[in-house]
Amino acid sequence: MADETVDASFLILFDRWPGVARRTDYADMPAAWLTPVATAVYRQGEKISVWNPLTTTVLGLNGWSTLIYLKLLTQGTTIVAGDLVVPCSTTNPFHVSNDQAGSTSALDITGSPLAAVALSAVTNNYWAWFWCGGVCPTFHAVACGGDVNTEGNVAIGLVCAHAAATASNETVLGPIAADDEAPIGYSLSADS
């Protein structure tokens, strides 16, 4: 099937990453928290939860969003807000990629139990916050509220990490199709 998309505002992710998220008021986040950096300014794998309010001017669901601090090692296709990443290192689960073909990690495969969504464009070997649980943080990271790529057959229900149907080898959302595919979230909308 051809690759398609689903609006991130209709996704709810399951946080399967290790650690406990601390509740954070959005006003307490530094001004540049959406800007990836070459040198980490937070602890790897640090998680925070922030409230995503539903307003008349911002799409999305009311609820908590969980964010995690990860390092993007490499990328198959250029990562922008809304792109899915999974662990790609055999020694550090907090090092991620969207490149299904270039990884040596057993986690960077279809059905990975750990996945996160980029909040902005990220450069190779840069640290950034990624959305890993709860509702899409559309209010706080507007660009993340756009399209998330799918393999073209996502229906309402559970979703997991898959390889794209195109030659890009990009990590995308797909339906649960086998016993070894761990659900990473739930889609409230079919792709288009």
> pLDDT by residue (tens digit) across 51-108?
988 765 556 788 999 999 999 998 878 888 999 999 888 889 999 988 866 555 555 5
**Residue-level pLDDT at 166:** 59
Quick one: pLDDT band at residue 1, thresholds 50, 70, 90?
A: very low
In angstroms, rounded to a whole number, what is the distance separating the alpha carbons of residues 182 and 34? 28
Is residue 167 scored above 80 in pLDDT?
no
Q: What is the pLDDT of residue 165?
A: 55
DSSP 174: E
- With 0-12 / 13-18 / 19 or more C-beta atoms within 10 angstroms meaning exposed / middle / buried, residue 118 is buried
What is the average pLDDT score of the chain? 84
Number of Cα atoms under 13 Å in the Cβ half of residue 91: 1
Digit-coded pLDDT (tens) for 20-58: 999 988 777 766 788 999 999 999 999 999 998 876 555
CB 50 within 8 A of CB 139: no
- Residue 112 burial class via C-beta count within 10 angstroms: exposed 0-12, middle 13-18, buried 19 and up: buried
- If DSSP codes are grouped into helix, strand and coil, which group holds residue 177? coil
pLDDT at 70: 97
**DSSP letter assigned to residue 99:** B
Q: What pLDDT score was predicted for residue 25? A: 82
pLDDT digits (tens, 9 = 90+) for 112-160: 889 999 999 999 999 999 999 999 988 888 888 788 888 888 889 899 8
6, β-bridge pairs: 148
- Taking the alpha carbons of 190, 115, 53, 138 in that order, is the dihedral positive or negative? negative
Pairing outcome for strands 147-150 and 4-7: antiparallel
pLDDT at 162: 80
Report the pLDDT value the prediction gives residue 168, as an integer from 0 to 100: 60
Helix and strand element counts for the chain (H, E): 0, 13
